[in-house]
């Protein structure tokens, strides 16, 4: 029999009452983590977990009834695989705007959509499983945990804590498996399909790239990579032209623009640290 490990990450709402309501229905173990941040919470879950296979899903995801069994059976079929990714279907609060529907391939990470086909198979190096529906062997974390400088921290939207783990696995020759029958439906509130959310998400993504060491290797101007100033200007021009034409093609340059701005902001902060010793976080 498995267990359900729930970490209350210093919440101020009714999380504790919700957890208590399920305590008699599930093999549930509840822990409180006072340090704010998703990586702190996940690291606490790793410490407390007893199983050999660790499955993580988002709190706003609805798991298919066969989710656990699908991952467990896949882990037995692929004894050398170190992680497993499953399908994520969006559950929109209301019908999304045309610009969302026509650009879902660009918004998979922001909205959380993942479908890599109906065949169980080894993931290619360039394919990525998403943290909203992901399983690891516990041995993955024998020497490292989630990076506490990545992932959501209170109202600060950073990302990449799972990506860093998965890329580390691949760098040492490990691999993952796509498990199509391990499914969740992920709730997408109306606030998540707005320009405001896209700005916040992709700006945070750009900052996360720098924290993961993915900053462009180029000369700096005002503490940020010089080529990005020109590229950001052109992306803004393409975005503006698409808006004038009332075309949904504005989404791609808009995404690129704010990702670049995020890289520039974090680069400046990191370079200020090198010069002054001030902590940007």
Query: How wide is the angle at C-alpha 271 spanned by C-alphas 158 and 210, nearest 5°?
Result: 30
Orientation of helix 38-48 relative to helix 161-171, angle to 10° = 60
63 — phi, psi (to 5°)? -80, 140
User: What are the extents of the domains in the chain?
Assistant: 50-191, 195-276
Q: What is the pLDDT at residue 158?
A: 81
Q: What is the pLDDT at residue 86?
A: 98
Assign domain 50-191 to its CATH superfamily.
Spore Coat Polysaccharide Biosynthesis Protein SpsA; Chain A (3.90.550.10)
Query: How wide is the angle at C-alpha 122 spanned by C-alphas 118 and 126, nearest 5°?
Result: 100
Q: Flag whether pLDDT at 143 surpasses 90.
A: no
pLDDT tens digits along 43-80: 999 999 989 999 999 889 999 999 999 999 999 999 99
pLDDT tens digits along 249-266: 999 999 999 999 999 998
- Residue 134: name the closest of 64, 234, 57 by CA: 57
pTM: 0.87
| Contacts within 8 Å (CB) and 24+ apart, 43-48 | 43/145, 43/146, 43/148, 44/7, 45/5, 45/7, 46/138, 46/141, 46/145, 46/146, 48/5, 48/7
pLDDT band (50, 70, 90) for residue 15: confident
Backbone φ/ψ region at 149: left (φ over 0), alpha (ψ -120 to 50), beta: alpha
Q: What is the pLDDT at residue 205?
A: 92
Q: What is the pLDDT at residue 204?
A: 93
Q: Flag whether pLDDT at 277 surpasses 70.
A: no
Using CA atoms of 274, 146, 216, 105 in order, give the dihedral in degrees to the nearest 10: -150
Q: Flag whether pLDDT at 156 surpasses 90.
A: no
Query: How wide is the angle at C-alpha 194 spanned by C-alphas 189 and 198, nearest 5°?
Result: 105
pLDDT tens digits along 185-229: 999 999 999 999 999 999 999 999 898 887 777 787 777 888 899
pLDDT tens digits along 83-118: 999 999 999 999 999 999 999 999 999 999 999 999
Mean per-residue pLDDT over the chain, rounded: 91
Q: Flag whether pLDDT at 152 surpasses 80.
A: yes
Q: Flag whether pLDDT at 278 surpasses 60.
A: no
Query: How wide is the angle at C-alpha 159 spanned by C-alphas 104 and 261, nearest 5°?
Result: 80
Q: Flag whether pLDDT at 276 surpasses 80.
A: no
């Amino acid at each position: 029999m498995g267990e359900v490990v729930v970490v209350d990450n210093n919440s101020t709402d009714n999380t504790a009452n919700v957890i208590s309501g399920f305590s008699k229905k599930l093999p549930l173990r509840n822990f409180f983590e006072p340090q704010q941040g998703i990586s702190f919470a996940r690291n606490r879950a790793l410490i407390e977990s007893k199983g050999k296979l660790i499955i993580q899903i988002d709190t706003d995801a609805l798991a298919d009834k066969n989710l656990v069994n699908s991952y467990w059976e896949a882990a037995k079929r692929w004894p050398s695989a170190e992680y497993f990714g499953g399908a994520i279907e969006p559950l929109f609060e209301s019908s999304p705007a045309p610009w969302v529907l026509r650009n879902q391939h660009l918004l998979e990470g922001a909205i959380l959509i993942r479908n890599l086909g109906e065949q169980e198979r080894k993931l290619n190096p360039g394919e990525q499983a998403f943290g909203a529906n992901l399983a690891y062997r516990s041995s993955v974390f024998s020497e490292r945990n989630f990076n506490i400088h990545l992932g959501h921290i209170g109202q600060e939207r950073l990302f990449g804590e799972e990506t860093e783990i998965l890329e580390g696995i691949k760098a040492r020759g490990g691999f993952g498996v796509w498990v199509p029958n391990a499914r969740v439906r992920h709730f997408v509130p109306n606030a998540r399909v707005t320009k405001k959310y896209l700005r916040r998400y992709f700006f945070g993504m750009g900052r996360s790239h720098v924290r993961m060491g993915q900053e462009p290797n180029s000369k700096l101007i005002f503490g940020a990579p010089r080529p990005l100033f020109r590229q950001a200007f052109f992306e803004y021009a393409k975005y503006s032209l698409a808006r004038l034409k009332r075309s949904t093609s504005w989404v791609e340059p808009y995404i690129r623009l704010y990702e670049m701005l995020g890289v520039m902001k974090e680069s400046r902060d990191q370079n200020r640290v090198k010069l002054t010793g001030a902590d940007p976080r």
